[in-house]
């Protein structure tokens, strides 16, 4: 009887090595750094908010942009981001505005997402695209 108790205790000890039982998932230590992008805020059906004509993401902080970032983040791009975590931001007040948005990037298909941490208006309307060159 004593041998059986030691065997069960030995199996239990092996299953809890490092404080993690066999049923627990290991903790992830991957760090996601915040980025900043500039783009045009659009609303789609179902209150889906996107930043279109967005620049490439640049490393940043989660806080509001510095004057230097506001000056550098100016050119439209070809990116599009689905904005998430937006309930604390008044996005309807910024519909069709040119914005600097900061957040944590989430790669997804077909559209990447951005978990928003900061929204700053650059202009009250989006820049118009130049007409295509002929010839």
- Domain residue spans of the chain: 35-123
User: What's the topology of domain 35-123?
Assistant: OB fold (Dihydrolipoamide Acetyltransferase, E2P) (2.40.50)
pLDDT tens by residue, 100-133: 999 999 988 888 999 999 999 999 999 875 555 5
Q: Please tell me the pTM assigned to this model.
A: 0.72
Between CA 124 and CA 61, with CA 56 as vertex, the angle to 5 degrees is 80
Cα–Cα distance list, 122 to 41, 44, 79, 106 (Å): 11, 21, 18, 24
Q: What is the pLDDT of residues 77-106, one digit of tens each?
A: 999 999 999 999 999 999 999 999 999 999
């Amino acid at each position: 009887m004593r041998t059986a108790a030691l065997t069960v205790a030995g199996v239990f000890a092996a299953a809890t090595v490092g404080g993690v039982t066999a049923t627990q998932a290991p903790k992830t230590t991957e760090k996601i750094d915040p980025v900043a992008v500039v783009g045009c805020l659009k609303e789609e059906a179902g209150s889906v908010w996107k930043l279109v004509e967005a620049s490439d993401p640049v490393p940043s902080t989660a806080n509001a942009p510095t004057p230097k970032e506001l000056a550098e983040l100016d050119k439209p791009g070809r990116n599009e981001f689905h904005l998430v975590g937006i309930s604390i931001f008044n996005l309807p007040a910024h519909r069709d505005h040119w914005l600097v948005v900061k957040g944590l990037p989430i790669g997804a298909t077909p559209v990447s997402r951005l978990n928003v941490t900061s929204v700053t208006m650059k202009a009250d309307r989006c820049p118009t695209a130049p007409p295509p060159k002929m010839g």
